A and B are shown apart, each in its own frame.
Chain A
């Protein structure tokens, strides 16, 4: 079985900090954007775009955060529009609606805890690959050829 490329990469101190910050950025955005789910995504997207030219390691973590935020955006937006419809539109308060809202609260909470864990672990140099989002990130964010087992300066050389 091929090891996860992110776990074999040896980042330098600056990369560790930036990668960890990508998770923290999404946490701050979650807190700021509670009622408006789009804010989380916008903040994460800005951070992602800001790190487009960073090393593969940082980009990988930014992409993973972006994907997880994108998923939350979809479920949160449905919840948000459903709430608006219950308050102002033709929908009424039902068990289905309350069930959906509790589910997204649970998923958001889960994502929040996992993100804190990922931020701490990444800072320590132990990258966390999320279930599904990690796999998805591996598919779109390919490591540079011959990067396995190399450390950060070597990667930099590989880029050049």
Chain B
């Protein structure tokens, strides 16, 4: 009995101390989130610089308008800030899209070529946004390169390491659970934005058909395995579908995006008109 009472007293003391410390807002006092965000942004910038130096990145004011439109719509039903997520269109034969630290998402031109509609593209962007919002990207980099490398990169912006990380993030798959979480996030996001999950499902279905016989150029399939199982998960998702569907991009905007992706020459001018 005495031991039980003493044990209870120790447990209460422990919990009370923990509760007391938890009431102090350390995260806000020491700006821990902003430190993380600043570090992520620096790492992201270094990786984007490395990608830009080794690849053709398509940029134009019209593309920026389209990116803003896509992100504003995707973030409309959520607490996400659309201005914080940056899209980058990279000329590449690989069908791929990947998330990078600092809220950057890289989309290869070949992937846009393979998309039949803007809602398919939105599905992929929503999935990659899921990886960003669920902190999968930074955790993966820390897990695979170590905190010391990350810290030195955030302070010195080492371009060699940045290029290696970019290569790694674009070619290696996330863990199965993380992919499932990002899919669930995407479905929630797409439904909240009145885009619906059908576009995402269609694209996944197209990718599922290539599973088992992955052609060299289908990098998104190799980095996002188990497509069939994931299509089934997306279909069985209990998240309520939107009552009305709104088109993300109009025909002109979608045609422009496709044109940017398909053309052989790099676009720097405004092709809007």
Given contacts A99-B19, A106-B17, contact A132 B134 (CB under 8 A): no
Are A103 and B21 interface neighbours, CB within 8 A? yes
B176 to chain A, nearest CB (A): 13
Residue of chain A at shortest CB distance from B142: A87
Query: Across the interface, do B14 and A103 meet the contact criterion of CB distance under 8 Å?
Result: yes
A90 touching B25, Cβ below 8 Å:
no
Of B10, B20, B26, B139, the contact of A132 (CB 8 Å cutoff): B10
B146 smallest CB distance to A (angstroms): 10
- In the complex, whether B6 has a CB less than 8 A from a CB of chain A is yes
Among A85-112, those with CB < 8 Å from B are 87-90, 92-96, 98-100, 102-103, 106-107
Cα-based distance from A131 to B7 in the complex (angstroms): 9
Residues of A within 8 A of B7 (CB): 132
B10, B14, B18, B181 — most chain A CB neighbours (10 Å): B18
Task: Produce 1/0 per residue, B19-34, CB < 8 A to A.
Answer: 1111111110000110
Q: Is B10 within 8 A of A135, CB to CB?
A: no
| Set B6, B14, B143: member contacting A131, Cβ < 8 A | B6
Q: Nearest-CB distance from A122 to chain B (Å)?
A: 21
Give the secondary structure class of A's interface: helix
Q: Can you sample 20 A-B contacts with CB below 8 Å?
A: A71-B10, A87-B142, A88-B143, A90-B134, A90-B139, A94-B27, A95-B21, A95-B24, A95-B26, A98-B22, A98-B26, A99-B23, A99-B26, A100-B21, A103-B18, A106-B17, A131-B10, A132-B6, A132-B7, A136-B3
Query: On chain A, which size bracket covers the interface?
Result: 20 to 34
Residues of B within 8 A of A87 (CB): 139, 142-143, 147
Q: Answer yes or no: B2 CB below 8 A from chain A CBs.
A: yes
Report Cα–Cα, A5/B147, bound state, in Å.
Answer: 52
B-facing residues in A57-86 (Cβ within 8 Å): 71, 75
Does A139 touch B at the CB level, under 8 Å?
A: yes
Q: How far is the CA of A5 from the CA of B135 in the complex (A)?
A: 56
**Once bound together, how far apart are the Cα atoms of A103 and B19, in whole Å?**
9
For chain A residues 116-160, which have a beta carbon within 8 Å of chain B?
A: 131-132, 135-136, 139
Contacts A75-B14, A95-B27; A135 near B2 (Cβ below 8 A): yes
Closest to A138 in B: B3
Instruction: Please indicate the chain B residues that have their CB under 8 angstroms from the CB of A131 in the complex.
Output: 6, 9-10
